[in-house]
Structure 1
């Protein structure tokens, strides 16, 4: 018999001495496993002093609930832990199990410095370069530089090409995207690329119809066009599949995928693509030396 009781309003306090992005991401990933949970989240970020931590503890006292934290400074951690114990609330240090495992694995003590993942290192600048690339190569722009891409996404209108490219850029992947528009030829540079992985994105016809209608409503355009006609869209999707099949380009159906899930699949495919390129290069060098 299904549970018909309304979900309880429970408080969750997220405490971080940095931006809180790591803590928020981990918490979100866990909360989706609890369908009936609708917690009231209290975000406490950039907590760097005992005075700031006192305000956090006052907030916890006013709204008791589970405390999740990523605080690496020992003095602030202890201040928070003592306060939670006095208030009788549960608390979890989210990163402790991972840091402990890494300490054992590397035989090295963690530095205990907050926000180190945001340091301006080479990886950071790679992400910035990838973001610039995605913006410069959005919607079929700058075709002459396609060979510099890691990934080229193609797909019919509203198949999530641009947001996927932006997400990939945040992971340091240079991604371009090209729309498949009826009666509009594709840039010849697309068919000449050697290094980039070309991937087609597709979506269920009914989903595309609804998304495109919403799009036209937002910009106050008449819906009487092939752009939202189900049969026309069905033809577009079929042509996209045919194109990808002809050129051996893999396709991903993004209908029931989040942007993050699509990007994760692309990153895995890109890794396999790069391995295949390396294998082909090694084989060619072996033949030359033989």
Structure 2
């Protein structure tokens, strides 16, 4: 919240042409000793202390000291918090740094979304080492949508397609199996999904991609890779993306956190 007080102070200072207004910003004030140090420094100048402190004991200490030394103060956040409390009929949390925490969560989400896009569909296996979660499975097992859903939960997810003709990247066997999750599906449903996919692309549904025998071969290959890795295998048959992601999150948070 130090930025808030600084912005308001600069705006106020810009209204005065008779002299230069100097600003001294002290962020993350967390104890009474810091309050004492700030007030002691302010005593040496013609100072106004503008603050956004919400923790009651720190605010009380600041007001006690500034009253003792006759230093003007401006509570930038307090009146707004009190007005919102009155209108909503609820009590404020009075916790420091809540906005900063929200900002950090937002930027972690953006970073996770960018990560999911960059390392989607095996684009760059080097990203597996930096992922929180790695999804593996054959085509059309919801790897990409699940990755994006996890990203909105601030989880960096990469995904790797498993295709019999293409060797799985070596990086997949170098990372811990605890962050790898295999996705599988019933052959019949996958056959239907792939046929519909071909239709949307304007291709014939008889292509090898949607051939049941081919699908069985792919699923068998994928299962062998997953068993070699030793990762959990989640059946996504008739599961919504949210259900699959929730299962992964549950397993993820039960296990160790990875670096």
TM class, shorter-chain normalised? 0.5 to 0.7
Aligned pair 1:246/2:205, yes or no? no
1:208-219 matched pairs, under 5 angstroms: 208-219=190-201
Q: Is the 8 A contact 1:139 1:178 kept in 2?
A: yes
Aligned pair 1:188/2:170, yes or no? yes
Aligned pair 1:202/2:184, yes or no? yes
Give the counterpart of 2:125 among 143, 164, 183: 143
In structure 1, list runs of 5 or more residues that go unmatched.
1-71, 79-98, 100-108, 279-290
Larger radius of gyration: 2
Counterpart of 2:106 in 1: which secondary structure? helix
Give the counterpart of 1:255 among 237, 249, 257: 237
Residue matched to 2:9: none
1:90-105 matched pairs, under 5 angstroms: none
Counterpart of 1:186 in 2: which secondary structure? coil
Please report how far the alpha carbon of residue 272 of structure 1 lies from its aligned counterpart in structure 2 after TM superposition.
2.4
1:11-160 matched pairs, under 5 angstroms: 75=87, 109-110=91-92, 120-160=102-142
Counterpart of 1:121 in 2: which secondary structure? helix
Please report how far the alpha carbon of residue 244 of structure 1 lies from its aligned counterpart in structure 2 after TM superposition.
1.0
Please report how far the alpha carbon of residue 223 of structure 1 lies from its aligned counterpart in structure 2 after TM superposition.
2.2
Counterpart of 2:238 in 1: which secondary structure? coil
Distance 1:245 1:122, change over 3 A: same
Q: Is the 8 A contact 1:147 1:196 kept in 2?
A: no
Of stretches 238-247 and 259-268 in structure 1, the one that deviates more from structure 2 is 238-247
Distance 1:228 1:127, change over 3 A: same
Give the counterpart of 1:222 among 195, 198, 204: 204
Please report how far the alpha carbon of residue 218 of structure 1 lies from its aligned counterpart in structure 2 after TM superposition.
0.5
Aligned residues: 173
Q: Deviations over 1:107-149 (max 9, x none)?
A: xx3459xxx9998521111111100100000000121121100
Distance 1:125 1:239, change over 3 A: same
Distance 1:227 1:117, change over 3 A: farther
Residue matched to 2:30: none
Distance 1:74 1:269, change over 3 A: same
Please report how far the alpha carbon of residue 264 of structure 1 lies from its aligned counterpart in structure 2 after TM superposition.
1.0
Counterpart of 1:176 in 2: which secondary structure? strand
C-alpha distance in 1, partners of 2:178/2:108?
Answer: 17
Give the structure with the larger strand fraction: 1
Larger relative contact order (Cα-Cα within 8 Å, sequence gap ≥ 6) = 2
Aligned pair 1:165/2:144, yes or no? no
C-alpha distance in 2, partners of 1:152/1:223?
Answer: 31
Counterpart of 1:274 in 2: which secondary structure? coil
Distance 1:206 1:73, change over 3 A: farther
Give the counterpart of 1:232 among 198, 214, 220: 214
Q: TM-score, normalised by structure 2?
A: 0.60
